[in-house]
Amino acid sequence: MKRNELRSIDLNLLVVFETLIQECNLTRAGKRLSLGQPAVSAALIRLRRLFNDPLFERNGRTMVPTPRALSAAQMLGPALDSVCVALADTKG
């Protein structure tokens, strides 16, 4: 994907993705993000389209990340950290 194509992506989805990776549960992810479970579910649908992968497979009450999700999480975690640092108030 080219940088210019990022304009078509809701970057908030990446925060939802990271939280889903950490929680492996839609309801808990929603609570951490102050979102309802239906909103997280809708975000997951959009993420699945974006990544062209199921990203998570249900196993009881847990969502198990796919290999593609785990690979993406390894790259996106540091990228999101970099964005936070770049946007931080450096005055103090």
Q: Give me the CATH number covering residue 53.
A: 1.10.10.10
In this prediction, residue 19 has a pLDDT band, given cuts at 50, 70 and 90, of very high
Distances (CA, A) of 34 to 28, 57, 71: 10, 23, 26
How many whole angstroms separate alpha carbon 34 and alpha carbon 90?
A: 27
In this prediction, residue 91 has a pLDDT band, given cuts at 50, 70 and 90, of low
Mean pLDDT in residue range 17-40:
96
Overall pTM > 0.85? yes
| Residue 46 domain flag | yes
In this prediction, residue 5 has a pLDDT band, given cuts at 50, 70 and 90, of confident
- Dihedral sign, Cα of residue 17, residue 76, residue 63, residue 20: negative
Q: How many domains does the chain have?
A: 1
Domain containing residue 34: 10-87
Mean pLDDT in residue range 13-17:
97
